[in-house]
Amino acid sequence: MGFTRRAFLQFSMAASAIAALPLMRVLAAATTKEHPMPFTLPPLPYAPTALEPHMSAKTFEFHHGKHHNAYVVKLNELIAGTEFEGAKLEDIILKTAGDASKAGIFNNAAQIWNHTFFWNSMKPSGGGKPTGELAKKIDADLGGYDKFVDAFKTAATTQFGSGWAWLVLGKDGKLVVTKTPNAETPLTSGATSLLTVDVWEHAYYIDYQNRRPDFVATFLDKLVNWEFAASNFANASVKKAA
């Protein structure tokens, strides 16, 4: 997945700078069973002011610095001393999905994944229409960009309470617009996520108060990172062809 490698590289650089450890020692620590590396908050892919005025630095201070970070801290607490300590985030999500006795681990792990995916679903000077193969696929599977916009807005605004709206590539190879409640993620259904918007109130209340439809419209018009979506789509196509 597109962001994973970048986030990992950013993390590696940040970790080695902060700890003043050579990268190899950091990597060795991450793979040593006796000293599993705790999860860390992935850095934003842009400055916290980069999406202003559409998403404020204040929102990032809370949403990334407090909410996203809290999921990381909590997950590390919950998995300490369990079979999940040292496991990959995606594996933790897949192994705990649907298991009520592991709901806490699932919720925090999935929220870490969803939020990192969300930050990468946006970029400065984003928004507007996709191009290339993904645009053609949206035309073919969803009836065109305008119909995608309608479907995405409907999914985002009709998700009752907290959750997420998504553009995903289903297991059947068709694009679909979908929504998930709370921490649920398309990862567990075998779909490939291309794009998401967080519609928990904490995502928009500072900048938009209760106006979720305005937030979603701005996300589509000014913030969407179609290059990220296109790279997820291209990677999924390559994986399928392999």
CB of 205 to Fe ion, least distance (A): 11
Which residues, 6+ apart, have CB-to-CB distance to 139 below 8 Å? 145
With tokens 């860390």, the residue in question is 40
CB 90 within 8 A of CB 106: no
CB of 96 to Fe ion, least distance (A): 19
| Residue, CB closest to Fe ion | 198
Residue whose structure tokens are 């929504």:
179
Q: Which is nearer to Fe ion, 84 or 200 (CB)?
A: 200
Q: Which stretch binds Fe ion (CB under 5 A): 18-26, 44-52, 126-134, 201-209?
A: 201-209
**Residues 2 and 234: beta-carbon distance below 8 Å:** no
DSSP state of 47: -
> Cα–Cα distance between 136 and 93 in angstroms, integer?
32
- 139-178: contacts with Fe ion (CB under 5 A): none
Binding marks (x or -) toward Fe ion, 92..121, rule CB under 5 A? ------------------------------
Contact status, residue 109 vs residue 96, Cβ threshold 8 Å? yes
Rounded to a whole number of angstroms, the minimum distance from the CB of residue 203 to Fe ion is 5
Nearer to Fe ion, 149 or 203 (CB): 203
Report the nearest approach of Fe ion to the CB of residue 42 (Å).
Answer: 14
**Among 27-35, 75-83, 197-205, 214-222, which window interacts with Fe ion (CB under 5 A)?**
197-205
Using N-to-C axis directions, what is the helix angle for 132-142 and 145-158, rounded to 10°? 70
Burial of 63 (0-12, 13-18, 19+ CB in 10 A): buried
Q: Does 200 bind Fe ion (CB under 5 A)?
A: yes
Q: Work out whether 207 is an interface residue with Fe ion (CB under 5 A).
A: no
In the complex, the residues that contact Fe ion under the rule CB under 5 A are 198, 200, 203
